[in-house]
Chain A
């Protein structure tokens, strides 16, 4: 199934891993990220497998980077510096380098409509891990926290603030309301958070030179959780840039600017969240005319037997947040459910979402399917103390322009080996379950892809 090159790549990465292991595998972690340093504890207090949080880590996040049940922000291990209480700087700073060092694709190159049938390509690239982030987070005073994340994508170049916000916590009484203002991940509190992925997102490759408000083809499909994806073919931002059906968006965009409030006013079993955002795809162009609003509720069961479960539901109402090719505005909404259960070494999570454009514009009437759905199911399990095996299934029932849209289903598998608590190597394979190579669409042209890479956090 694998070609000779990709076989070679696999063999080389395994060999490389095996050579590195004895060099890098002392019993204890030497360096740990910011919060763990601050509290002199271990990553696994808060994570099932970084970056995925366990129940305790989730409550820590909700409480604005203060230990659950406390308002310790202003006091724990801090120095007073004029009006602010500050930790040592290394209690704020964290650094993560993650990405693939080998990318190996087998897919059928798509040619422009009318040209020859595409040719099958096997492509292997070696790269520097494609993403690194520097983040700073913590509390500056009791109940006042902040988080800033600077990201650098080697492929795209440049560094930008991916997320940056302040939090004001425990307004009213403990856990009644926590406020965030800035650029944040709206979906960070639900059962399946957008930016915490075990099988990270792999971007699609666009054919380039797409004209505004014209159909734009993708050379190769993107591998992002379908439940979080845009799902529609033939949607554009305000400047006419085609939105990728595979890219995370709306409630699941990972970073939008706005304000939101969440809390657990009735105890641990129930969480609410409401928010207002400038609107989607702000980074591509102007924010849209109207504000987008959302609400989320989450039910938790977290008591004993190393077991926890949660169920979340959300509604996201877009307000003129996209356009179709006739340049008419649409209100693009999303309704979703996500669930998660964790029992000892096993962590299973899923999200299902329905995207709806609530009035099909006249110009595309009869040509446009205004409903699309995405389903993602994932599972992680530790097979040994240091080895995590992950699985993900995605199904995208695409909507949008009937002549462009194509549905897709993928399976991804990954093995990640932690050489230290904060240093892991991984190998990942993704397979297209609808392998027909006909048609001019990326959703079908990929046969399989293999990646291996490294994940370092300190």
Chain B
């Protein structure tokens, strides 16, 4: 009986999480919400992010040892996964997405927290940074892909990849073996070495592996790392950006 009841709860949670980004349950950001968020934080996040949100939790060092990334410092540090322009804070939906889907290879997904709990903990981590009290950043427009990828588009994507020097860090074929990486020049804002990752392994993309997520990453950059924002350059030509996105996705397919 008990198991049945548990399974029923599990199943209904499963259905709920299908409706992930609905924010109907988003509670108001007030003291009570932050208090609840604090309790969740202390169980779920503190061991990596530290009691004061400095990213120095007891389990934080071992994640990358002498290299980066360390767990995020919520007090001032820049955020990587945003839909806002480079240098700005993320909007709430960005944080919600990060907490829900986790950060591939670094932080587990928290879809096991109810949506309300996720919003509560987000309200709490925002309280570490006064910047969130200011005006909310305006998210960039993230259009839908213009259409399915084409061979010619992917070829153009390759050209864009070389033209804008992606290979300097990511390597000619996206394996992360660009000159800057091999020379050890890639550091994050804390001075830790940060790997450009492997673009041929899309499941490892930290901000998500959908075409939109890659588009967003290229447009906004990953603040606090050498991965720049291309909004002002390639962003001028939306087709080039999408071609580039499809080129990157094609790198993973080649490998299969």
Interface residue A144 (Cβ < 8 Å from any Cβ of B):
yes
Establish whether residues B62 and A41, one from each chain, have CB atoms under 8 Å apart when the complex forms: no
Establish whether residues B9 and A142, one from each chain, have CB atoms under 8 Å apart when the complex forms: yes
- The residues in A between 56 and 108 inclusive whose CB is less than 8 angstroms from any CB of B are 56-57, 59, 66-78, 80, 83-85
Complex CA distance for A22 and B24, rounded to whole angstroms: 53
With contacts A59-B47, A76-B109 known, is A142 near B4, CB below 8 A?
A: no
Interface residue A12 (Cβ < 8 Å from any Cβ of B):
no
Establish whether residues A304 and B57, one from each chain, have CB atoms under 8 Å apart when the complex forms: yes
Interface residue B63 (Cβ < 8 Å from any Cβ of A):
yes
Establish whether residues A40 and B3, one from each chain, have CB atoms under 8 Å apart when the complex forms: no
Establish whether residues B112 and A304, one from each chain, have CB atoms under 8 Å apart when the complex forms: no
Whole-angstrom distance between the Cβ of A28 and the nearest chain B Cβ = 6
Establish whether residues B109 and A306, one from each chain, have CB atoms under 8 Å apart when the complex forms: no
Establish whether residues A40 and B102, one from each chain, have CB atoms under 8 Å apart when the complex forms: yes
- The residues in A between 367 and 409 inclusive whose CB is less than 8 angstroms from any CB of B are 382, 384-385
Complex CA distance for A160 and B104, rounded to whole angstroms: 35
With contacts A39-B108, A304-B52, A382-B65 known, is A143 near B113, CB below 8 A?
A: no
With contacts A69-B40, A303-B50, A385-B67 known, is A74 near B14, CB below 8 A?
A: yes
Chain A residue numbers with a CB within 8 Å of B195 are 27-28
Establish whether residues A55 and B59, one from each chain, have CB atoms under 8 Å apart when the complex forms: yes
- The residues in B between 9 and 68 inclusive whose CB is less than 8 angstroms from any CB of A are 9-11, 13-14, 17, 40, 42-48, 50-52, 54, 56-67
- The residues in A between 393 and 443 inclusive whose CB is less than 8 angstroms from any CB of B are none
Establish whether residues A142 and B6, one from each chain, have CB atoms under 8 Å apart when the complex forms: yes
With contacts A28-B198, A41-B108, A306-B60 known, is A141 near B3, CB below 8 A?
A: yes
Interface residue B105 (Cβ < 8 Å from any Cβ of A):
yes
Residue of A46, A74, A143 near B11 (CB, 8 A) is A74
Interface residue B74 (Cβ < 8 Å from any Cβ of A):
no
Interface residue A163 (Cβ < 8 Å from any Cβ of B):
no
Complex CA distance for A56 and B108, rounded to whole angstroms: 11
Establish whether residues A74 and B13, one from each chain, have CB atoms under 8 Å apart when the complex forms: yes
With contacts A27-B176, A41-B106 known, is A74 near B7, CB below 8 A?
A: yes
Chain A residue numbers with a CB within 8 Å of B111 are 72, 75-77
Residue of B nearest to A54 (CB): B59
Residue of B nearest to A300 (CB): B58
Question: Is chain A's binding surface mostly helix, strand, loop or mixed?
Answer: loop
Chain A residue numbers with a CB within 8 Å of B10 are 73-75, 78, 85, 141-142
Complex CA distance for A415 and B187, rounded to whole angstroms: 28
Interface residues on A, range: 35 or more
Establish whether residues A56 and B47, one from each chain, have CB atoms under 8 Å apart when the complex forms: yes
Residue of B nearest to A143 (CB): B6
Residue of B nearest to A343 (CB): B61
With contacts A42-B63, A142-B13, A305-B56 known, is A70 near B110, CB below 8 A?
A: yes
Establish whether residues A345 and B61, one from each chain, have CB atoms under 8 Å apart when the complex forms: yes
Complex CA distance for A49 and B63, rounded to whole angstroms: 10
Chain B residue numbers with a CB within 8 Å of A83 are 3-4, 7
Chain B residue numbers with a CB within 8 Å of A384 are 66
The 8 A CB mask of A331-359 against B (1 = contact, 0 = none) is 00000000000101100000000000000
Chain B residue numbers with a CB within 8 Å of A308 are 58-59
Residue of A55, A67, A175 near B110 (CB, 8 A) is A67
Chain B residue numbers with a CB within 8 Å of A125 are none
Interface residue B107 (Cβ < 8 Å from any Cβ of A):
yes
The 8 A CB mask of A26-63 against B (1 = contact, 0 = none) is 01100000000001111011111100001111010000
Complex CA distance for A66 and B214, rounded to whole angstroms: 30
Interface residue A302 (Cβ < 8 Å from any Cβ of B):
yes
Residue of A45, A49, A55 near B58 (CB, 8 A) is A55
Interface residue A268 (Cβ < 8 Å from any Cβ of B):
yes
Chain A residue numbers with a CB within 8 Å of B176 are 27-28
Chain B residue numbers with a CB within 8 Å of A68 are 43-44, 47
Chain B residue numbers with a CB within 8 Å of A46 are 59
Interface residue B140 (Cβ < 8 Å from any Cβ of A):
no
Chain A residue numbers with a CB within 8 Å of B45 are 69
Whole-angstrom distance between the Cβ of B75 and the nearest chain A Cβ = 12
Residue of A54, A59, A303 near B51 (CB, 8 A) is A303
Residue of A48, A57, A69, A77 near B43 (CB, 8 A) is A69
Complex CA distance for A268 and B44, rounded to whole angstroms: 11
Establish whether residues B63 and A44, one from each chain, have CB atoms under 8 Å apart when the complex forms: yes
Residue of B48, B50, B52, B65 near A56 (CB, 8 A) is B48
Establish whether residues A76 and B112, one from each chain, have CB atoms under 8 Å apart when the complex forms: yes
Interface residue A307 (Cβ < 8 Å from any Cβ of B):
yes
- The residues in A between 145 and 198 inclusive whose CB is less than 8 angstroms from any CB of B are 174-175
Whole-angstrom distance between the Cβ of B197 and the nearest chain A Cβ = 8
With contacts A40-B102, A67-B112 known, is A74 near B47, CB below 8 A?
A: no
Chain B residue numbers with a CB within 8 Å of A174 are 43
With contacts A45-B63, A68-B44, A142-B6 known, is A302 near B58, CB below 8 A?
A: yes
Could you give 28 example pairs across A and B, Cβ below 8 Å? A39-B102, A40-B203, A41-B108, A44-B64, A48-B62, A54-B62, A55-B59, A66-B112, A67-B112, A69-B44, A70-B110, A72-B113, A74-B14, A75-B13, A77-B111, A80-B11, A80-B14, A83-B7, A141-B3, A141-B10, A268-B42, A303-B50, A303-B51, A304-B57, A305-B50, A345-B65, A382-B65, A385-B66
Known: A40-B108, A47-B62; 19 extra A-B contacts, CB below 8 A, are A28-B176, A44-B65, A45-B59, A45-B106, A45-B107, A55-B57, A55-B58, A56-B58, A69-B40, A69-B45, A70-B44, A72-B111, A72-B113, A74-B6, A74-B14, A85-B10, A303-B57, A304-B50, A342-B58
Instruction: Give the 6 A-B CB pairs with smallest separation, nearest first.
Output: A72-B112, A74-B10, A69-B43, A69-B44, A308-B58, A70-B112
